[in-house]
Each structure stands twice: as structure tokens, then as C-alpha cells.
């Protein structure tokens, strides 16, 4: 299958669209956090406001519940991303420190190890040794980190970037169902909110697939269906509690 055919099927783009520039790791990190944050903001806030709307028509009650959900969710997303990415970065820095120590204490064995890794990748032993020597002379740590650890020492993920991206995107995503259900008339607020949320989830599903170089259609379908299920369940629970309380 050619790259053009794969692109048409929504699986992968052509080679010229593949990312290679330095700093990509951190950029993809905040893009991932942003898309996931927006998606969570849309679904969780829609579930809250539709659940309350199922129990009461009081606009003030819906507003209070929605705002509380937005604030709590945004702070939770930011804290969760910060802790998660900080743990990942700590692990990466520990592995790099270990590699620096090994390069300093036993450079010959490290050179042989690097050459052996290139042999494992398919290079002839003599060529693998030459490549290892040249890369070691240029930047020994970067060469070993890339092949052994899959880490770019100059492009570690940033916990603060992920936290801010997640918090801001969650808030922006959450505003869609909150404002929709508050601004639309009582007779139409539920269905208009459901339609707006479904459209937004289709967009975030498409974005997550494109950023991750995955298939677009399955990502969109499961994203929209998951959101619809969440809204149906919470609205149904709200209606059930509203008739009994």
C-alpha cells in the first residue's frame, strides 16, 4: 500500500508530513494533553449539566453545577498531567544520568555496546563500528540515549507545558456544553446540547487521530459514541432522581 493510499484511508500521511524536527516530543506532548483535556472537558461537563437538567429545569442549579464541574475538572486535569509527566521526566533523567556515568567510567565497552546495537539493526559489523565511533565523537550521550533508551536528551517532556495545556483545553472544551445548555431555551436545551457535544467530540476524535497518525474514522466513531453514552446515562440518572427527590 502506498503512502498516498494510506493517507486516503485515514491511516497515515505522506512522508513529507512526517515530523522530524527537533522539539517535536515536547510539542506532541502538549498537543496530546490539549486534545485529551478538551475531550474530557466536553464529556464530563456535558454529563454534569445534562444530569442536572434531567432533574430540574432551574437554570441557576445547572449553572452552579456546571461551573463547579469546570473548575474541579480543570484543576484535576492539570494536577494529573503534571504528576504523570513529572514522573516520566524523572525516569528519563535518571536513565540519562546512568548513561553519562557509564560513558565516563567505561567508554570502550559503551562503544562496543553501541556498535552491537547497530549490528542488531542490520548494519555490517565494520560499518556499525564506524557509525558508532562517528556518533560518539559528535555526541556520545545523544547517540546512546537514542538507540538504547529511545530518548532525546535535548527534548525531554515538560510537565508544566502538559499541565497548562490540559487545564486550558479542558476549560475551553467544558464551556461548550455549559454555555449551550444555559443559552438555549428550555424546550430545546437538551437536544441542542447533545448535538453540539457530538459535533465537538467528532472534531477532537479527528484531531487525536491526526496527531497520533492513526485511523480517523474509528477514532471519531468511538469518541462520539462514548460521549453520547455518557450523556444518556447521566441525563437518565438525573431524571430518575428528579422524580424521586
Number of domains the chain is built from: 1
Give the distance between the most distant pair of CA atoms in the chain. Answer: 79
Neighbouring CB atoms inside 10 A of 199's CB total 11
The alpha carbon of residue 241 and the mean position of all alpha carbons in its chain are separated, in whole angstroms, by: 35
pLDDT of residue 30: 65
117's grid cell: 546495537
Under a CB-based contact definition with an 8 Å cutoff, are residues 96 and 204 in contact? no
pLDDT at 27 over 70: no
Helix pair angle (125-144, 107-120), 10° resolution:
120
Mean pLDDT across the stretch 111-116? 88
Handedness of CA 120, 121, 124, 127 (dihedral sign): negative
Under a CB-based contact definition with an 8 Å cutoff, are residues 88 and 104 in contact? no
**CA atoms of 74 and 193, how far apart (whole Å):** 20
> For residue 6, is it within any domain?
no
> For residue 97, is it within any domain?
yes
Mean pLDDT across the stretch 63-67? 95
Q: What is the pLDDT of residues 118-164, one digit of tens each?
A: 888 888 888 888 888 898 888 888 888 888 888 888 878 788 888 88
pTM of the model: 0.74
> For residue 93, is it within any domain?
yes
**CA atoms of 87 and 119, how far apart (whole Å):** 33
> For residue 11, is it within any domain?
no
> For residue 91, is it within any domain?
yes
Domain that holds residue 72: 23-244
> For residue 66, is it within any domain?
yes
pLDDT of residue 175: 95
> For residue 13, is it within any domain?
no
> For residue 18, is it within any domain?
no
Amino acid at each position: 500500500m502506498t503512502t498516498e493510499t494510506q493517507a486516503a484511508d485515514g491511516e497515515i500521511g505522506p512522508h513529507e508530513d512526517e515530523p522530524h524536527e527537533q522539539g517535536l516530543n515536547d510539542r506532541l506532548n502538549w498537543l496530546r494533553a490539549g486534545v485529551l483535556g478538551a475531550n474530557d472537558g466536553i464529556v464530563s461537563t456535558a454529563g454534569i449539566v445534562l444530569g442536572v437538567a434531567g432533574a430540574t429545569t432551574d437554570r441557576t442549579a445547572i449553572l452552579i453545577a456546571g461551573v463547579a464541574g469546570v473548575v474541579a475538572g480543570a484543576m484535576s486535569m492539570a494536577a494529573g498531567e503534571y504528576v504523570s509527566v513529572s514522573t516520566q521526566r524523572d525516569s528519563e533523567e535518571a536513565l540519562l544520568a546512568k548513561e553519562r556515568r557509564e560513558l565516563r567510567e567505561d567508554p570502550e565497552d559503551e562503544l562496543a555496546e553501541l556498535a552491537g546495537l547497530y549490528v542488531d539493526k542490520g548494519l555490517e559489523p565494520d560499518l556499525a563500528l564506524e557509525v558508532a565511533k562517528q556518533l560518539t565523537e559528535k555526541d556520545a550521550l545523544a547517540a546512546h540515549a537514542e538507540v538504547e533508551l529511545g530518548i532525546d536528551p535535548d527534548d525531554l517532556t515538560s510537565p508544566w507545558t502538559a499541565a497548562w495545556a490540559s487545564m486550558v483545553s479542558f476549560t475551553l472544551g467544558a464551556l461548550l456544553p455549559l454555555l449551550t445548555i444555559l443559552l438555549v431555551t428550555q424546550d430545546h436545551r437538551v437536544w441542542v446540547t447533545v448535538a453540539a457535544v457530538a459535533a465537538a467530540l467528532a472534531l477532537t476524535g479527528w484531531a487525536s487521530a491526526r496527531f497520533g497518525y492513526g485511523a480517523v474514522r474509528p477514532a471519531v466513531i468511538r469518541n462520539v459514541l462514548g460521549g453520547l453514552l455518557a450523556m444518556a446515562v447521566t441525563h437518565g440518572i438525573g431524571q430518575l432522581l428528579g422524580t424521586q427527590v
